[in-house]
Amino acid sequence: MDRIGIFCSASPSIDPLYFEKCAGLGTWLGKNGKTLIYGGASLGLMECISRTVSENGGKVIGVVPDKLEEKGKISNCLTEIFYTTTLSERKDIIVRESDILIALPGGIGTYDEIFHVMAAASIGYHTKQIVFYNINGFYNKLIAALEDLGEKGFLRHPLSFYYRIATTFEELQQIIESSD
């Protein structure tokens, strides 16, 4: 998989561990000639991943909604830009342009992106999964909630249809490489 979609936090005030793990992923992606496709922001983990991919030779595609552009929060690391007018368009383009989709730690926007991917897959718009990069157990509660939905019969497909989990960088790397 050469086109890696990333969903992650735009917050600068999160645990430095997340920045460290994000930078490690971005470095690996860049050095391995991968293309990053993400929301285009110059904030938080979003800027960290774009900067490290770019500094290490990878291509960086930003999918930028007009509200982000109006606020001047677009990363300087972008080699290509898709402009959108809505967050829904942004999500659709990231999903369409990516071979694989990875969720790093994030807030409401990241959760929205995760559920957008899973909901669209559940009704047949695509067959892509979310790969949770579950750094320091960040997604444990969400995964437990999804398991509960499955146990109660609220999911159309088995959980393995919707997502995979990587708790270490090595597991994440293996998932990316095995998806080729």
Q: Please state, in angstroms and rounded to a whole number, the distance separating the CA atoms of residues 149 and 145.
A: 6
Read off the pLDDT of each residue in 70-75 and give the average, rounded to a whole number. 82
Q: Please state, in angstroms and rounded to a whole number, the distance separating the CA atoms of residues 105 and 112.
A: 13
Is 0.75 topped by the overall pTM? yes
119 token code pair: 């909901």
Q: Count other C-beta atoms under 10 Å from residue 15's C-beta.
A: 12
Read off the pLDDT of each residue in 141-146 and give the average, rounded to a whole number. 96
For residue 133, give Cα distances in angstroms to 48, 73, 143, 159, 170: 15, 25, 12, 16, 11
